Amino acid sequence: MFTITVTPRFGDVDGLGHINNVVLGNWFELGRNPIFRMFQPNLNLSHDVWTLIMAHTDFDFLDELFYQYDVEIRTYITRIGTKSFTTYHEAWQEGRLCVKGSAVIVHYDFKNKVTTPIPDDIKVQLQEHLIEMPK
């Protein structure tokens, strides 16, 4: 599991005084940075070296998030395939699970526009953060 703490910004608040739903995608992406570093340690985004592309993402909003409290983002791996893997994220505030979601990330060759196998050494690193999701 990877964890980061996010301090909400004033601009993250919507007209109802809650953290806006669109903010969670950015926070969950921040939570994936340690995973991205497994593939590209310096986070170089050049098409000739970057090898990841997002294929799917989803969110379940379970409780409200508020401006005045920090948010803990927890990131796990729930599936490792040949050419893709799935991350699972949780946003916690004041001891409450407020948002959960997942993202499918594909190992991708941008030059040839094809999916490619995840290298075995990186699969081993991903495996260290694998959890089984309840059904």
CATH code: domain of residue 48? 3.10.129.10
Domain carrying residue 34:
2-127
For helices 23-39 and 120-127, the axis angle rounded to 10 degrees is 130
Q: Considering its fold, how many domains does the chain have in total?
A: 1
- Asked if residue 135 is part of any domain, the answer here is no
Which residue from 49, 6, 21, 39 is spatially nearest to 105, judged by alpha carbons? 39
- Asked if residue 134 is part of any domain, the answer here is no
Long-range contacts, stretch 123-128, CB < 8 angstroms, 24+ apart: 123/80, 125/38, 126/35, 126/38, 126/77, 126/80, 126/85, 127/77, 127/80
Report the C-alpha gap between 58 and 116 in whole angstroms.
24
Note the pLDDT tens digit of each residue in 63-107.
Answer: 999 999 999 999 999 999 999 999 999 999 999 999 999 999 999
Report the C-alpha gap between 110 and 46 in whole angstroms.
10
6 dihedral zone (left: phi>0; alpha: psi -120 to 50; beta): beta
Supply the pTM of this predicted model.
0.92
Element (H, E) at 68: none
Note the pLDDT tens digit of each residue in 43-70.
Answer: 998 878 999 999 999 999 999 999 999 9
- Asked if residue 133 is part of any domain, the answer here is no
